[in-house]
Structure 1
Amino acid sequence: MSIGTEWDGPQVPVSGDASHAATSALASAAYRDSAMDDIKKADNEWHQSTVKGGRIALLKPNLGEAFSRAVVARMLAPGRKPLIQSFGSEPQFVVEHCLAANNIRRERDNRLTAVTALCGVLFLPGLIVWLLVFQLRTYIAKRDDRRAGSLATALLLAVGVLAVLFLVKMPFAGFWGWYARLAVILPVVGWFWAKRICEAAAKDLRGRWDGLLSGTSVGAKVPEAVPRGPNQTAAEELRQSLARLSAEQQSNSVFYAGPKGILGMGTRWGAWQLAEDLMPADPTREIHPFRSWDVIRAIHDQLSLLERGPLNTGGFPKPSIKHWIVTPIGEKASAVSRPEGTDVEAFQVKPHAIQDICNKQQFGSGDRHYLGVQWTLWDGQLVITMLITVTVLHQTLRIEVTGHALGPVNPLFTSKPEAPTKEVSKSLKPWETRTIKLPLVGTDEVVRLAARAPLTWYPPLLNWLGGSLALPEPFGLRHAWADQPWRHRFMADDALRAATPVLRVVHSAAIRVLEDNGVNTEKFGARSSFLSGNVQDPTPRKADLYDA
């Protein structure tokens, strides 16, 4: 029976939909068996993961173990800190795969614990000796010396020879003699038994890893998230945590972290501002009073028509248009605090509060309002966001359009599993090499998993002994490991091309409102024409880095 394939429970959406490519790539990290330190390769300049070292190298977790535990603890724990939205991905899908991976490993660890108890704990002296040998072997193998691997293997062989001599020339007799023999032999027998358990689990984990990246139907069964009775409080709490995660993902509150840009949307690469005085078109009449919200509402209506055009040439897909409340935080802030109170419900700032912020909070401290038009492209690997804000100070109306781009997830998450191999010299032709296949689960890996298994019942102790992964804060799955899109020619083109039509739609809608309210739009039109030419500059810039 394959581990982790016979659970009852709901099946979450599978990864076959091409729009889930970025989500599936992040979810695949839960099943990976590479070194935990590899996560550092995926960090970008703004968000850094922390690998916490343990006390015993033999108990160190791999990437999948550390990632899945860290993500579940950070995103589902009671009383957790607020999360950053994962635009272009589905965080619940990733979390459920982390839960499923934990379940597979838990079932494997339960079996390994039984093996360790029968073949190890009952013969503790022999188990301790073998563990010390493997701990010393691991320490030697970590050295940079080229001969470290050979020395580690030689150590294991030498101990094996000593074990055989010990069995042949046993210094004890009677009960203790037989006990000593079993203490030497049974840990080795347990290792072979554990190896079969570990290989079955590794095949299951790698199959899911490959399936997620190949686009096949890989669902995560999480039966513990479905309460089956009124007394299953843990299942109900997990269900509520997943529901809270989905609700927070839909929040219309975001955070501006200085040079990092808007968290979850990426850095600001361009900004275009139209600012002119409000002068009456007819000097004998006053301007008809209007508010910033009136301009924003007209822009919103026009942006909803962006996918339409005079020619049938493809063009824009349907964008997501949303009103955002942006809260400023420090560049090095380690946490965020979402708006609370009567104006917020289920992480959503209510429409009347949005309108008040748009009209009144335009200068000084406080949150700001932005109208956003967003496209999720390249199977979720590129998120383009254009933000529009309208302010009126004294007689000056300012319409600002800014471009944000979130690039693809780091290639670490898109690499497929490869069978372990090793190049060796040919026996008769030592100048030539050949590739041989290695076991899916090596000797050291079996010992590591068997040693960790009994401690998985108390994760804090296991993390203290073996180490753990601390996720970058403020944490959001998508932006934490996103690369810049500018190294991908077509992604960069898409981001740059979106700016011009959005800018022109915004300006035309705003000028129409001004004309309807008796404003002289001559200067606005001239400025708009200038910006329409300037926006065609094909160079993205770091617009949030002010040279002051």
Structure 2
Amino acid sequence: MTDGFDFSPGAQVPLTGIDGETAATQALASAAYRDTPVEDLVKINDAASVSKPRISLFQPNLGEAFSRAVQVRMLGGGRKEVVQSFGIEPQTVVEHCLAANRIRQERDTRLTVVMAVCGLLFLPGVLVWLGAFQLRRSLGKLKANGNRAGVLAGAVLAVAVGFTVLLAIVPPFSGFWREYFRVVMVVPVIGWFLARRICERTAKDLRDRWSDLAGGSGVGAKIPEAVPRNPNQTKAENLRQNLAKLSAEQNSNVVFYAGPKGILGMGSRWASWQMAEELTPREDLKEINPFRSWDVVRAIHDRLKMLERTPIHTGGFPRPAIRHWVVVPISEGAGAISRPTGTEVEGYTVKDFEIQRICNTQQFGKGNRHYLGIQFVLWDGNLVITLMVTVTVLHQTLRVEVTGHALGPINGLFSGKPSPRTKTVAKSVRFWETKTVNLPLIGSDEVVRLAARAPLTWFPPVLDHLGGTLKLPEPFGLRHTWADKPWAHRFMADDALRAATPVLRAVHAAAIQVMDENGVDVSRFTSRSLSLSGQVQEVTPKKADVYDA
């Protein structure tokens, strides 16, 4: 490998269900096992899209489309850089997508055998049945749109059944072909019963995993194909390396600012507080001692580490993640991101000496910028609060700016558990009353869809062309793509607003201390800090990146 990654430890078994397995991670991972309509994903993020199927019988469901799209986007040969997913473990989600695809592939292998025996040898009958179910499916969609097509949809199957009975009783031709046409429509029905048992067994397994993940039990993903057993297994080795790249990219210290979208992966900027005053020496001094922005940032870093301490026993802050970030500007409509490269970058991470140089020199004009970030991951990963600090010195003015970013919970679609398939029918005796009865996990239409798709799963491009695919929004990141705003949740909004005040005061205290130690008259800075300390206690978030004041 020539891309700077070290894979010397050799093949490692991917671990799941341990540190980092949060509620948000499990909720996203559960999407790989779902059997709901794929259009549900488009409803929660209109930047995603589903291409129209050329044959609706081959259209994937949510779990199939999500697993396929994530696997191709995150591990494919032509993959592009992905945005960090703060608050979740993206590798765990990808591994569950691989595990779900593996379960479906095992099912499709059995269905392909059934299709070969009961379908290929009796192809005319299979084509008639598939045509009937395709027509019934199309009429069913018309019914869902409000048209009266329910009777026609039921009549299609009635005609197919009648045709089967007619051929069995009065087959055409004579001799061998007479007996062949007698069973040409019957054998595919027998294959349908076999396929149904296979599909129900797999559906139960998938739904159990879906329920466990949505319920928080943290079932592990089994992907033995990611562990090469000999040097010739290049496919497994490439998969293992791509998973390692995904982890390295997740740990990168480079983030991207996309205008009104805010910092990708951290959420939009909802507030900004700035303390900018002139650097003048104290009355007893002629000039200040020279210092740099990095000296102030380092003092702020040390002071922020003390935030988890409190003078009274009330719980207080959990341990935050404090890190130096390199922020790269991109346009709001950018379709991709590009991480810095060169000798100062190692494994997607900018080295410390380069971060220090950016902090001291790249404060005006073109180039990337340095920010010190303090991040709180709360509510089992469903709330990510990030406060970014930047220090700039232009002429004789020192500016300390604190901005607040908040990434809300994963959309509620991902937290729902599977519900049993039921139907409301009239009672046999008291026909004016109704009752609810349970239906099989897999309906007849679903069995036909899975059986028809099974042989084509060995040729994914063909299946994608016929059934359509899920197109993920770019720049893509597993976490921010499906996140809601935190302000709709009362306690999450409270947490975001409450975190700002102590962080702002700690930042100002550290900055004023450095200036005071270097002979700066800090009276103006202290006055401005007290003013901002009062402003930060406002009860509503602002749209700082919209500039609509």
Smaller-chain TM-score range? over 0.9
- Hey, what does 1:14 align to over in structure 2? 17
What secondary structure is seen at the aligned counterpart in 1 of 2:512?
A: helix
* Post-superposition CA distance 1:185-220 (Å, at most 9, x none): 111110000000000110000000001112224111
CA distance in 1, matches of 2:382, 2:396: 42
Find out whether 1:24 has 2:23 as its counterpart.
no
Q: Which range moved further: 432-441 or 458-467?
A: 432-441
Q: Does 1:87 align with 2:86?
A: yes
1:216 corresponds to which residue? Answer: 217
Task: Indicate the residue corresponding to 2:107 in structure 1.
Answer: 108
The answer on 1:98 being equivalent to 2:119 is no
Q: Which amino acid aligns with 1:14?
A: G
Aligned equivalents of 2:384, 2:218: Cα separation in 1:
25
Please state how far the C-alpha of 1:275 moved relative to its aligned partner: 0.4
User: In the alignment, what sits opposite 1:433?
Assistant: 434
Cα deviation per residue 1:244-268 (whole Å; 9 max; x = unaligned)?
A: 0000000000000011000000011
Q: Which amino acid aligns with 1:38?
A: D
Secondary structure at the counterpart of residue 333 of structure 1: coil
Listed one character per residue, the Cα deviations across residues 138-175 of structure 1 (whole Å, up to 9, x for unaligned) are 01111124643343123212320221022111122110
Alignment of 1:259 onto 2:260: yes
Matches within 5 A, 1:379-418: 379-418=380-419
The offset of 1:429, in angstroms, is 3.9
Query: Deviation of residue 180 (structure 1)?
Result: 1.0
- Structure 2, unpaired ranges of 5+: 1-11
Q: Is this contact kept in 2: 1:41–1:412, CA < 8 A?
A: no
Is the contact between residue 42 and residue 411 of structure 1 (CA under 8 Å) also seen in structure 2?
no
Provide the aligned C-alpha RMSD in A: 1.4
User: Aligned-pair distance for 1:65?
Assistant: 0.3
SS of 1:424's equivalent? strand
Contact 1:10–1:221 (Cα < 8 Å) also in 2: no
Contact 2:87 2:381 in 1 (8 A): yes
Specify the code of the residue in structure 1 equivalent to 2:28. Answer: L
Deviation at 1:19, TM superposition (A): 5.8
Contact persistence 1:255–1:329 (CA under 8 A): yes
Tell me the secondary structure at the aligned position of residue 120 of structure 1: helix
- Tell me the distance in 1 between the aligned counterparts of 2:21 and 2:457: 35
State the 1:431 CA deviation.
Answer: 3.9
State the distance in 2 between where 1:168 and 1:147 align: 34
- Kindly provide the amino acid, as one letter, of the partner of residue 422 in structure 1: K
**Contact persistence 1:263–1:479 (CA under 8 A):** yes
**Residue matched to 1:4:** none
Match of 1:362 in 2: 363
1:336 is matched with: 337
| Secondary structure class of the residue paired with 1:391 | strand
- Give the distance between the partners of 1:301 and 1:79, measured in 2 at CA: 42
User: Is contact 1:255-1:262 (8 Å) kept?
Assistant: yes
Partner Cα distance (2:57, 2:347) in 1: 45
Amino acid at match of 1:455: L
In the TM superposition, structure 1's runs of 4+ consecutive aligned residues that sit over 6 Å from their partners are none
Q: What is the correspondence of 1:311-350 to structure 2 with a 5 Å cutoff?
A: 311-350=312-351
The alignment partner of 1:408 has SS state of coil
> Are the aligned partners of 1:28 and 1:212 in contact in 2 as well (CA < 8 Å)?
yes
CA contact 2:285–2:519 (8 Å) conserved in 1: no
Indicate if the aligned counterparts of 1:282 and 1:518 stay in contact, CA closer than 8 A.
Answer: no
Q: Is the 8 A contact 2:20 2:89 kept in 1?
A: no
Separation in structure 2 between the aligned mates of residue 158 and residue 431 of structure 1, nearest angstrom: 32
Q: Which amino acid aligns with 2:40?
A: D
Deviations 1:53-74 (A, max 9, x none): 1210000000000000100100
Conservation of the 8 A alpha-carbon contact between 1:18 and 1:215: no
Q: Superposition pairs for residues 458-497 of structure 1, below 5 Å?
A: 458-497=459-498
| Cα distance between partner residues in 2 of 1:208 and 1:22 | 16
One-letter identity of the residue aligned with 1:528: S
Alignment-mate amino acid for residue 542 of structure 1: K
The offset of 1:512, in angstroms, is 0.2
**Hey, what's the Cα distance between the residues in 2 that align with 1:460 and 1:90?**
29
Q: How do 1:267-346 and structure 2 match up within 5 A?
A: 267-282=268-283, 284-346=285-347
Cα distance between partner residues in 1 of 2:20 and 2:539? 29
**CA apart distance, 1:541:** 1.3
In the superposition, the TM-score normalised over structure 1's length comes to 0.96
Q: Is the aligned partner of 1:53 residue 2:78?
A: no
Please tell me the residue identity of whatever aligns with 2:65. A
Amino acid at match of 1:31: Y
Shift in Å, 1:426: 2.9
| SS of residue matched to 1:157 | helix
Partner Cα distance (1:159, 1:79) in 2:
45
SS at match of 2:22: helix
Q: Map of 1:62-211 to 2, 5 A cutoff?
A: 62-143=61-142, 144-145=145-146, 147-211=148-212
The alignment partner of 2:296 has SS state of: helix
SS in structure 1 of the partner of residue 130 of structure 2: helix
Aligned length: 536
Q: Give the whole-Å Cα distance in 2 for the aligned partners of 1:372 and 1:80.
A: 28
Q: Is residue 513 of structure 1 aligned with residue 514 of structure 2?
A: yes
More displaced stretch, 47-56 vs 304-313: 47-56
User: Do 1:112 and 1:197's aligned partners in 2 also have CA atoms closer than 8 Å?
Assistant: yes
Cα offset, 1:428, TM superposition: 4.0
* TM-score, scaled relative to structure 2: 0.96
For 1:233 and 1:170, the matched residues in 2 are separated by: 54
Matched, 1:532 2:528: no
Structure 1 SS opposite 2:385: strand
For the residues of structure 1 that align with 2:433 and 2:371, how far apart are their CA atoms?
Answer: 64
Show the counterpart of 1:247. Answer: 248
Q: Which runs of 5+ in 1 are unaligned?
A: 1-8
**1:353 alignment counterpart:** 354
State the distance in 2 between where 1:280 and 1:429 align.
93
Give, in whole Å, the separation in 2 of the partners of 1:424 and 1:327. 60
Paired residue secondary structure (2:469): strand
